Amino acid sequence: MRSWHGKLFFFAGFVCVLMLTSWHTSKSDNLPSQLHLVYERLLRAEQRGEVLSHELLKVLGQLQNRSISPLNLTISNSSALLEERVLRRLLPSQPNAHIYLPHLKEHEDSLKPIVHLGKRRTGVSLVLGVPTVHRQKQSYLVNTLQSLLYDLSTAERKDIVIVVFVAETNATFVKAVVQSVQTNLPDAVSSGVVEVISPSPHYYPDLSNLKETFGDPKERVRWRTKQNLDYSFLMLYAQSKGTYYVQLEDDIVAKQGFFESMKTYIEQVLSEEWLFMEFSQLGFIGKLFRTSDLPMIVEFFLMFHKDKPIDWLLDHILWVKVCNPEKDLKHCNNEKAQLKRTYKPSLFQHVGLHSSLTGKIQNLKDKDFGNQVLFKGHYNPPAELSSSLEKYQSHTLERAYNGEDFFWGLTPKRGDYILITFTTPQAVKGYFFRSGNIETNGDRFYNTTVEVLPNNNSVKEKVTRGELACCKPSSDGFVQIGSFKNGVAEGEVDGALGEIAAMRLLVHSDSDVWVLLSEIFIKV
């Protein structure tokens, strides 16, 4: 309480100083110098904010990551309490939210996120923010997350966190989203790559009496105002988790290799002055910020959250920073262009047809995105190919094996297989099979094993007797050496198996989706 009064007295004193400064200015007609003084004060304040953000990252980076059980909304250990105290102490931007959202004062936890899934990972390079809301027609969230995770390497998965923000207070809907993410992406959740949060039920103000502006009907004004609040909440949560923050949406696909492309580009322009980077040309998708800039950006969004859409507000930040009212529009646009960097081709494409705004159809496409790579070819040893799966159109197994296309088969059933019989036995060193692709990521192999047929009968007998620890017997003399996990099967082939006459993918249970094989690599 004493600290609060101190802040109040400081604020009152600051206002008095400004009033005296204004009076003195009117008397002395020294407006340019006074404006310069105010600018210097603001600059010093911004620098102090950056120092605080760096201190926060340092402290949180030392805290041990903790597991959070699904739907368990409380954390009992002392380190969690320490982290909360640190957050309260080092985030000066959050109390300012009470100025623009005075209803938050009624509940102490109004700005506290509810963490449903994740490990509260910090210290990463990239934080991806994915807000999601209830859609009447179709949800794209799981496909979006699968696209983002599709080809991340092991090292990249350790240097990124994807924060799903369920921007609703309906507990039933929030629970459904949490369960969907947990069910479809269990490994990403357990490893800490994906987190799911939602706001306090007291976060949103009354949005029923908003002023209609710019010719927008009341429902659209409500939608865009809530979006401003959603993005602001997500940014506040993300600012302590990494170095850069990327704003995404829940109905996009990512280009393969987006992580490496972004990091490489950031390194190229790191020494330059910029406020944000654009990795997509559509709206707010793919905007990248330094997390140290987020407190200032969020405060601006909250200050004008009822007035304009969020992409307009971002443009106004640029105007405030660099545009001279005494110069023309061309000069202003040139100055604003210096504070943003645009990467081409775009790394994110909008795919959703049904907007989160009820009744709105938005067939938006980024013309700079280009075409996706739907398969990856390799040189494989000569072989005869066969399968019990019915192919779709011209997407044959032969073309996939030769690196010319992907294989697309109708719904697999228990006992279905893909058989690769080598023309001559091969000393196979390893294998890599990827099912699904960036656009059809759900068409994967589930409950499917990778098996080999040793050319030497004595090896088969050793496996049957359990004398080789590398593998276990299957049927027809085949030996099971691996299985598909998250749509991918990869591994080495133990040299004790000798030369291999054939390889087989064997389905062990019925599937409810088609299957697409986008990469086949037999390493010899």
DSSP string, 126-188: EEEEEEE---SS---HHHHHHHHHTT--HHHHTTEEEEEEE----HHHHHHHHHHHHHH-HHH
- From 21, 37, 62, the end of a domain falls on 62
| 55-111 pLDDT per residue, tens | 545 544 544 344 333 333 333 444 555 555 544 444 444 547 888 888 888 888 888
**Same domain as 291, residue 404:** no
**Same domain as 436, residue 494:** yes
pLDDT of residue 350: 82
The CATH number covering residue 224 comes to 3.90.550.10
Whether residue 363 is contained in a domain is answered as no
**Same domain as 99, residue 22:** no
**Mean pLDDT computed over 158-176:** 94
Whether residue 199 is contained in a domain is answered as yes
**Same domain as 398, residue 342:** no
Question: Total domain count for the chain?
Answer: 3
**Six-digit token string for 488:** 């991918």
Whether residue 427 is contained in a domain is answered as yes
Yes or no: say if 122 and 245 are a contact pair by the CB < 8 Å rule: no
Whether residue 366 is contained in a domain is answered as no
- What percent of the chain shows pLDDT beyond 70? 77
pLDDT of residue 486: 77
**Same domain as 269, residue 178:** yes
pLDDT of residue 390: 94
**Same domain as 400, residue 264:** no
- Kindly state the helix (H) or strand (E) to which residue 387 belongs, with its residue range: strand 383-387
Look up the pTM and report it: 0.65
pLDDT of residue 384: 96
Work out the pLDDT band at 232, boundaries 50, 70, 90.
very high
pLDDT of residue 137: 66
- From 350, 367, 402, the end of a domain falls on 350
Yes or no: say if 193 and 154 are a contact pair by the CB < 8 Å rule: no
Mean pLDDT of the chain: 81
Best CA proximity match to 143, nearest among 283, 353, 288, 344: 353
**Same domain as 314, residue 423:** no
| 329-357 pLDDT per residue, tens | 999 999 999 999 999 888 998 885 544 55
Best CA proximity match to 213, nearest among 205, 225, 204, 226: 225
**Same domain as 70, residue 36:** no
| 241-259 pLDDT per residue, tens | 999 999 999 988 898 889 9
Work out the pLDDT band at 135, boundaries 50, 70, 90.
confident
Whether residue 334 is contained in a domain is answered as yes
Work out the pLDDT band at 366, boundaries 50, 70, 90.
low
**Same domain as 93, residue 1:** no
**Same domain as 327, residue 281:** yes
**Mean pLDDT computed over 411-436:** 94
Whether residue 376 is contained in a domain is answered as no
A 10 A CB-CB count for 339 gives 15
Whether residue 357 is contained in a domain is answered as no
Query: Which structural domain range is residue 126 located in?
Result: 64-350
Sign of CA dihedral 264, 267, 270, 272: negative
**Same domain as 311, residue 222:** yes
The CATH number covering residue 393 comes to 2.60.120.260
**Same domain as 99, residue 49:** no
Work out the pLDDT band at 44, boundaries 50, 70, 90.
low
